[in-house]
Structure 1
Amino acid sequence: MDVVAAGPWLMATASEFVELSAELPDWDYDSVLRLRRPMRVDGLRARRSTGLGPDSTLVLSVLWSSSSSGLRGRVWQQVLPADDEMEVEIAFDLPGDELGGQLDLETVVTLGYRGIEVESAAAPTRPGSVLWRDVRSALLQGDNVLFPLAVADFQQLVYPTGASWHLELGQNLDAQALGSILLLANKRREAVVNALTSAGDPSDADRRVLSVVRSDVIRSLIERAIVDDVFDMEEDYPAGSIGALLVAVVRNTFPDRTLEMLRRERSHEPIRFATRLQSATDLLATA
């Protein structure tokens, strides 16, 4: 379909909008991404080229997803009238505490209602059918950001005082992951605190620490999924929930292995399983 002219993704800075780059090294969890995108859509030709009539409904939408948080959703949408051409400006904000890792922005034109004035038997029939699609990705802090971070003195908490970090994770699989996950760094481990707080512009030493922390955080999430008898990879967990996050992490880390295979290997060959995790998380591969 050649009736959509998509402009560049633009991101707000302190003084202007600039084109969204492939990496955002200055991003952090306190940031809010203000995004814009100019579009020009010929709604009439869009319908004719797909065999639809003027009484059909087409919808322009933007979907987002974050690799580190596992969160996703629809952030913007607009019905496209059956006009020759129309200018559209996509505009929305994404809160930083829902993001992390790779941010994917998917712009789609989908069928809302087929209508009765169909011009071709080959016209799409199913609501939600994708007629046009475009995906743009950006790495937030070079994929070094893990989860919302807090620095604390472990001697004042219940965690072992010699630990460098601890991942807090809620128990309710249906609860929203946002607000249920927190990476605590022990203030007495300066190398760890410095690496985590400098993730936007890490030194070589920081990268080594971040690689270890990232691998261990993924291990913690995988372990949680494996030992939780209630957790089920086939369950339809609410979008943005802890359950949905665990499903995403397991699938992204081990795309060729089932949860039962992982559970069995961890139970019978724990050392081999630990080695597999090192490989799957690229431990120190780019440090």
Structure 2
Amino acid sequence: MTRRVLPYRIPPEDVVVPEAWLLVNEAGELDMPEALPDWDYRMNLHLRRRVRVDLDRARSGSGLPDDAALMLSAVWTATGSNLGGPAQHVRLAEGGTRTVDFDVRLRGADLGGLLLLDTALVLAERRSDARPSSPRRAGSVLWSDRDSLRLQGDAPQFPMAVIDFARTSFPDEAAWHLQISGGMESATMGSLLLLVNERNTITTTAFENAGKPRPVDRIVLSAVYADAARVMIEHALSVDDFGEDADFPDGSLGATLLSLFEQLFPGQSITDVRLRQRQSPALFASDLQAAVKIFEVS
């Protein structure tokens, strides 16, 4: 772990002994993997971690008095949704060694992309009596680490809702519809919404089983992904500002579409693909079908 240079004293790294994050599911607890290949936005996450802190050494190593209140904090950030927030905070005012058990539950609808989990030991309150070389501001970091979990899956990686298409302007018998709104610099999570027709039980069941899909569910999810990719790429190519030199903010719709384009058409220029799509839309549709590897299920 890279050690940051801070304008105040910090204790040795071994004053905090963290155990690995655990992923909790129906089968019990397992070490958090690097990626969840079957994750989708309807899958909530339950994570646990145990951390042991030597409070006396943490204070003395930082030049803090024995009564300085510390706090152990866990914070999450999701790159796909551009959302984040506190997971759990535990105030540590006593002495000796303290064991803290984090128990974190995150909504799948708030996640996406890379889930970052930051754990930090910080000064809980401002210390006006601190030495010049000691931390004094509330929130001063004494120790920290970061873990990550890549969330990926067969289902399209954006929010979805199950509704009755009969109550909308969409055809009653349509299975799904991908809505795209906002400009290229708008946040992806607020620009994309997959609507699934509750009357189409085959599709709704496939998404319900996305965590543990059956062969038929994988085929349905593959079809949805292929169609969503087509809509997204066609939308991108219709925007004149969408090009190789575009610089879209992280977490924006433009950045998401650019990433999808590079994934589906590696080594090809946007100009060439846009020209092919306009001159021969039928051939382009076949190119896109091949790029998404439709119905290639394991």
Alpha carbons 2:185, 2:248 under 8 Å: kept: yes
* Amino acid of the structure 1 residue aligned with 2:219: R
Q: What TM-score results when the alignment is normalised by the length of structure 1?
A: 0.62
After TM superposition, the structure 1 = structure 2 runs for residues 245-260 of structure 1, keeping only pairs within 5 Å, are 245-260=256-271
Letter in 2 for 1:266: Q
Q: Please state if 1:31 is matched with 2:47.
A: no
Q: Structure 2 CA distance, aligned partners of 1:234 and 1:134?
A: 32
CA distance in 2, matches of 1:283, 1:27: 18
Question: Is residue 2:149 matched to residue 1:173?
Answer: no
- The aligned runs of 1:63-102 (5 Å cut-off) are 70-71=80-81, 95-100=107-112
Structure 1 position 205 matched with structure 2 position 216: yes
Alignment pair present for 1:19 and 2:31: yes
- The 5 A counterparts of 1:53-202 are 70-71=80-81, 95-100=107-112, 103=114, 105=116, 137-140=149-152, 142-144=153-155, 146-202=157-213
Deviation at 1:234, TM superposition (A): 2.9
The Cα offsets for residues 175-211 of structure 1, whole Å up to 9 and x where unpaired, read as 2222332111122222112112221122111111110
Q: Please state how far the C-alpha of 1:7 moved relative to its aligned partner.
A: 5.5
The residue identity in structure 1 corresponding to 2:226 is S
Q: Distance in 2 between matches of 1:157 and 1:186?
A: 10
Separation in 2, partners of 1:209, 1:151: 15
1:279 aligns with 2:286: no
2-side partners of 1:145 and 1:231: how far apart? 21
Give distance in 2, aligned partners of 1:93 and 1:257: 41
RMSD, matched Cα: 4.5
C-alpha distance in 2, partners of 1:18/1:105?
18
Would the aligned equivalents of 1:145 and 1:199 in 2 still touch at CA under 8 Å?
A: no
Q: Kindly indicate whether the alpha-carbon contact (under 8 Å) linking 1:12 and 1:33 is maintained by their aligned counterparts in 2.
A: yes
Tell which structure's C-alpha radius of gyration is larger: 2
Separation in 2, partners of 1:250, 1:146: 15
- Aligned counterpart for 2:226 among listed residues 204, 209, 215: 215
Equivalent residue number for residue 20 of structure 2: 8
Gap runs ≥5 in structure 1: 41-61, 77-88, 108-132
Deviation (angstroms), 1:254: 1.7
Which letter maps to 2:267? D
Please name the residue that 2:242 is paired with.
Answer: 231
- The one-letter amino acid of 1:144's match is A
SS of 2:255's partner is helix
Partner secondary structure for residue 194 of structure 1: helix
